[in-house]
Structure 1
Amino acid sequence: MWEVVGYLLMLILACYGVYYVVQDIVKLLQHAPGPPVSMLVVLRNRERDIEYLMRRLESWRKHQWVELEVLVVDDGSEDDTRRILTALQGKCNFRLITVTDDKHNVSQGDQARQVGLLHCHNALVWLVDLRRLPQGLLAEKVFRVFFSQGWR
């Protein structure tokens, strides 16, 4: 008799577990996409790692369900960053905005960041300022949390 009770108890627990697994699968299939997000990347003189970063971002975007708009603001780069970004525009989906530093017009705040914010179309903006990172540090480390979390 105790064997029958044990088997019934295991059957009940198994059905209970299957029920919750099915509920989780249904939730995953019926999820609504998240709100659209604008990613504003402000950079200067990043020719060493910008191509790798943009290609990684583009491949990552294909596997996410959030609508992500990428804007790249070049804040007066003196190396080949602008040329690399212009060449990547045909392969990666982002908008490039170039800002030339006008020495005569000194305004309060950061002009490149303000111009980028004015061009964002979404209410949620993720600002990544690569100008603040040392040149030896790869910009990919900044995005590691964003890539691994997946905006869920």
Structure 2
Amino acid sequence: MKDEPLVSVVIATYNMGQYLPDAVESVLNQHWKNLEVIVVDDGSEDNTPDCISRFKDDPRFRFVRTKNQGQPKAKNLGLGESSGEFVAFCDADDLWHPEKLRLQMPLFEDPGVGIVYSEVSYIDECGVEVSKSRPYTRYSGWVTNELAIKNFIPFGTAVFRRACVEQDGAFDETLPMGIDWDLWLRYSLKWQFQYIPEETYIYRLWSGQMSRNYRGRYDNAVQILGKFLESNPDVVPPTFVSRAWADMYVSRAMAIANAEKTFIEPLKDIIEGLRRDVSYWPAWRSLIKLILRRV
């Protein structure tokens, strides 16, 4: 891009003092210089203020402290404190690649593009690189149909226009989880998404992260998909709606089966998935896997 428009990066944190400084530093070390970093401390009880005190003299850095209200409100508070034409997020235990914004921002030269996202790499809790397969196909363009089936966008990789927030709102504060999928579904109705294959975001895998709460994740996913389809009844074609619900039930079934080594509950979910879309081959594959484990 000829000029560097301001990018606001929000880092919402809760008791992440051990990882937060590295996250902040990775954003401030961007080759893209016109940015601001807003750390929202959601009522941490650890040494978070001391851990990031070294950044207080950097004019691009701001620290906002609030009582504990949960991540949707913390992220929205950060959005309200930001002033950039573009917005991005970094989780407090993750990292940005220094080339992230330089690689992603040029795609916004197309005024119809609202969100640019990328591929992700992984590290463990000690910062050691972890090899992990890429389970999802990524899509560009008008992605509502595909996005209804699967949230294929790694949240921290995404950069989006402030105009998206102004037109279609911020995070739904009634949702404790899955807030990014809800956001992307709403934005996909008016904006195109663009994907780049470079790994610009480094996701940390460790035992304390919320993403391990698979039951809570799927409870919220069912709510999010149902609300979106009810609010936009004619947007997603019936075949995609059936496929979306089939994938929901089958994915939940295998998450429970893998974590809890159970049979009956996952079986019921897979059968419900097949009832929604009998041609959905991953459901048949999952059914075979489940039965073979039982034998």
| Contact 1:40–1:126 (CA under 8 A) maintained in structure 2 | yes
Give the superposition deviation at 1:81: 1.1
Equivalence for 1:28:
none
Equivalent residues, number? 105
Equivalence for 2:78:
116
Q: In the alignment, is residue 149 of structure 1 matched against residue 136 of structure 2?
A: no
Correspondent of 1:64 among 32, 35, 47 = 32
Q: Counterpart amino acid of 2:77? A: V
Q: Counterpart amino acid of 2:63? A: L
Q: Deviations for 1:118-151, whole angstroms, at most 9, x for unmatched residues?
A: 1111232112344xxxxxxx512xx237268364
| Contact 2:8–2:87 (CA under 8 A) maintained in structure 1 | yes
Give the superposition deviation at 1:98: 0.7
CA, structure 1 residues 120+92, in 2 after alignment: closer, same or farther (shift >3 Å)? closer
Q: Give the distance between the partners of 1:78 and 1:91, measured in 2 at CA.
A: 24
Pick the structure with greater CA Rg: 1
CA, structure 1 residues 115+83, in 2 after alignment: closer, same or farther (shift >3 Å)? same
Identity of aligned residues (%): 23
Q: In the alignment, is residue 125 of structure 1 matched against residue 61 of structure 2?
A: no
TM-score normalized with structure 1 length: 0.55
Correspondent of 1:82 among 41, 44, 49 = 49
Q: Counterpart amino acid of 1:99? A: T
Write out aligned runs for 1:19-98 (5 A): 32-58=2-28, 60-61=29-30, 63-64=31-32, 67-91=34-58, 93-98=60-65
| Contact 1:86–1:96 (CA under 8 A) maintained in structure 2 | no
Show structure 1 runs of 4+ deviating over 3 A.
147-152
Correspondent of 1:139 among 85, 94, 104 = 94
| Contact 1:64–1:150 (CA under 8 A) maintained in structure 2 | no
| Contact 2:32–2:102 (CA under 8 A) maintained in structure 1 | no
Q: Give the distance between the partners of 1:83 and 1:92, measured in 2 at CA.
A: 18
Q: Counterpart amino acid of 2:32? A: Q
Q: Which runs of 5+ in 1 are unaligned?
A: 1-30, 131-137
Give the superposition deviation at 1:95: 0.5
Equivalence for 2:122:
none
Indicate the structure whose relative CO is greater, using CA pairs within 8 Å and at least 6 residues apart: 1
